[in-house]
Structure 1
Amino acid sequence: MSKERAKKDTLNSALGEQQRSYWLLVLPAVVIYLSVMAFPTIFSVVLSMTNFNGGKVFGGRVPIEFVGLKWYKQLFVDEYFYLALKNNLWIVMVSVFGQIPLGFFLAYVLYRGLVKKTDFFQTMIYLPCVISTVVIGILWKSFFAPYGAFPEIMRLFNPAYEYGLSNHPILPVLFVILWMYTGTYLIIFMANLQKIDSAVIEAARIDGASEVQSLRYIILPALSGVIVTSCILAISGSLKSFDLIYVMTGGGPANRTSVLSVYMFDKAFKGAPRYPLANAISTVMVTISFMLIGLTKWAESKFGGRE
């Protein structure tokens, strides 16, 4: 009995030491997450239900009163909110159904060696991702300006061309977003395509499978998890897009290129500060992001394969 008890005590001591080591390693990350992510998110939701306007620091009222869903009601009757939301959804569509398929197509072409000088093309496609967003915004803003290069190029083909992007000011922004971030998904898909055993693909080709069949029945099911991860990255990045749009258009003209992040910035830092309304906008952004990510996960579980 004494030997069994000693063995049990030794085992309990080892387990206790393992748990202490586990918490010692995990605790810093948990503390950082709670202080940097969880607390600000919860505080933002609480703040969106008050009349806080800066406190003593910004010359506002000191007492903070709970006003419930007042700012959310005001938000959902503002036409500019729906305009910003529509532009954000356009960016999400371009990111999910533009950047990801195009990035995968380019990665597949380079992976299968269907073009020469793959390293050169891979570098050129990824290059916009490492250039400062502010620099890219200034360059493309000059390119699409009424007296910039784009109208001049169009007049080479049609001398009677008149600059008409003012009717659809969001189109240049969508084009730049597509051009700028496709390289990110190219690298993601290239890295994961290289993990697929090439012998499996060659065996399928020997058995008579075409390129399309190999793509459909071998490669795409193997990359289903990567595709879902890419969709989550695209959705989260699209909803928080700010710098490129702020540099290219500033939300203009007449807020027609504004997105939720720019709309939130304007409410918080332009004119009279309306911090609770800005926090309400951020809460809506997080909610929409979770909804779209949940939809993506549902679609993957319903129709996708497994890695």
Structure 2
Amino acid sequence: MWPFCGNTRKNPPRLAQPPPTRWTTGPAVDTAPALCLPAALSVAALFATLAPAAAGAEDSDLRGPKPTIVLVHGAFADASSWAEVTQRLQRHGFPVRAVANPLRGLAPDAEAVRQVVDSVSGPVILVGHSYGGALISHAAAGEKDVKALVYIAAFAPAVGESALELSAGGKLGPDTTTTIGNDVYLRPDRFHEVFAADLPRRTTAQLAAAQRPVDAGALSAKATAAAWQQIPSWYLIAKQDNAIPAGSQRAMAARAHSHTTEVNASHAVSLSRPEATYATILNAVRGTR
């Protein structure tokens, strides 16, 4: 049985009292792009049709050699969820690697991310969304070329914590999921509500149909590394997230001393608010140059 089925807590978990945050909290970002997709659009073509924001001139402080941006998606998604963010990064000359997260378990998934990082020559900015945050926290441990961690509505567990604990109080659970074999899916009729409430329902219906399941034990696995203790981090908090409560995100960001920005967005913030996601990554690049 999937471990969420035994979870009856209604409030976000209490984290250890963090020391005073060292970083300045960034401004909230409030302007969301409108999305309108034809009904017959295939899922494969979905992300290519989302209109990008207008490209501005590259800032002078971003010229010259750039770090590789390694993007790690979470559960119920795939690497195409980064398409709009990738387009913006590549437009400004950043090398990008969007990891095909296996979603088979915390240890093997983190190792898959580490192998991608090790294949890159030069500095890396490691970015994780949702469950991908737990993976970058593991994969970056001991990696001297990882210059920053960027959490996008993501889990940043301490050693001994699980994603399951940190999502308490959200809408992930037995009422919104189904298990097939050892794979956990979001129920199609609840996908919009839980994962992407600020996207059109036609869009979320296609995302639900194409979702990639996560292994039933992955979200309950206890973290054995917390690279945010040694590596500077940035955190984009999705204030309307129904999967990881905003309060839990704030507590994790404060504990990690992350540079923090808040945005009006659902859990699918890389899709619904790609410009805010991109801006958070750029802030990490600037902060580590």
TM-score range for the pair, normalised by the shorter chain length: under 0.3
TM-score, with length taken from structure 2? 0.24
TM-score, length basis structure 1: 0.23
Question: Per residue, is there more helix in 1 or in 2?
Answer: 1
> Looking at CA atoms only, which structure, 1 or 2, has the larger radius of gyration?
1
Higher strand share: 2
